Amino acid sequence: MYQTYKDRVEFLLVYIREAHPDSILFTLKDGKEQLLKVTQPKSLEQRSEVAGQCLATLKLSVPTVVDREDNKVNAAYAGWPDRMYVVGVDGRIAYQGGPGPGGFRPAEVERWLKANVK
């Protein structure tokens, strides 16, 4: 979806608090796949590091920012554990997906984009 629409829509992934704290997952770190325990980051620096590992592991190229320790973005958008939004050029929410994981529906967002983006 990002590759299809990135020239017409600004995409932004916001990394909030860790959805899988204390899980042991295969992640990419320093270019190598490793089995690591993912902890809940306690600082912006740690969140940024875990966000980078997540992007590398999932092979995502979407521009990404990290919510600060005060979790204001998460609180404003009810983002945990994941959620999709489309914000219009007027700054208003044009599409609000349901909370994940059940409400996380990329195909639904893509249908919205097909219907509303020229």
**Tens-place pLDDT, residues 11-26:** 999 999 888 888 888 8
Which 8-state DSSP code applies to residue 53? H
pTM of the entire structure? 0.85
Residue 39's pLDDT band, with cuts at 50, 70 and 90, is: confident
Confidence at residue 36, expressed as pLDDT on a 0 to 100 scale:
86
**At 85, is the secondary structure helix, strand, or coil?**
strand
Task: Encode 67-111 in three state secondary structure.
Answer: CCCCCHHHHHHCCCCCCCEEECCCCCEEEECCCCCCCCCHHHHHH
Residue 38 pLDDT level (bands cut at 50, 70, 90): confident
Domain ranges of the chain: 2-116
As a whole number of angstroms, the distance between CA 50 and CA 66 comes to 10
Those residues whose C-beta lies under 8 Å from the C-beta of residue 112, and which sit 6 or more positions away, are: 86, 94, 95
CATH number of 2-116: 3.40.30.10
- Scan for tokens 């590091």, then name that residue: 49
